[in-house]
Amino acid sequence: SRALSGVLLGCILFAPGVLIWLFNRSSYLARALIFTGGVQLATIAAAFGLKDVFGRQRPYELLGHGDWQHMWFAGGSSFPSGHNAFFWGLFLPLLYLFPRWRVPLLLIPLFIAVARIDTSFHFLSDVLASIALAALVTLIAASLSNRWIKPAR
C-alpha cells in the first residue's frame, strides 16, 4: 500500500535515531532523526486514516463520469493527499530543524504539490489539507519536544 512507504521511511529514520540516542543522549543527530521520523509516522497515519473517513473522488474520476454530486464519501482516496502528506511530513520537520536551508528544502514538496494538482490526481484542497496536517503535526511535535530538541544554529 502507499501508506507503507511513509511508514517505512518513518521507521528508517526513527529506529536508528533511538539506537544512537541510547548510546549518546546528547546527540543532535539522534534527536533530529527521532523528531523527523516521528512526525513522518504521525502525518502518514493521520492522512491515510482521514482518507477512509472522507472517501473523496479524484478529479480525473469526476471528470470521467461527470457525477459531481457524489464526490465525497464515495469510496475515493483523494482527500487528503497521501503523496503530499509524505513529502510535507518529511520536509516540514527538516525546515524546523534546519531553518538556514528552508528555501531549498521547500522546493521538493512544493513541486510535488503542484504536480499532484496538475496531473488531476488531487484538488487544491486535498493538497492544502495535507500541508496543514503535516504543519499541525510538526507544530505539536516541536511544542512537545521544545526542551529536547531545538533548531540548529
If you average pLDDT over every residue of the chain, what do you get?
90
CB neighbour list of residue 45: distance below 8 Å, 6 or more residues apart: 3, 7
Question: 45-91, pLDDT tens digit by residue?
Answer: 999 999 989 989 899 988 887 777 777 888 888 899 999 999 999 99
Which residue in the block uniquely carries the three cell numbers 512544493? Answer: 110
Task: Give residue 1's pLDDT.
Answer: 59
Task: Give residue 109's pLDDT.
Answer: 96
Could you give the CA distance from residue 44 to residue 32 in angstroms, rounded to a whole number?
18
Decide: residue 75, CB within 10 A, 0-12 exposed, 13-18 middle, 19+ buried: exposed
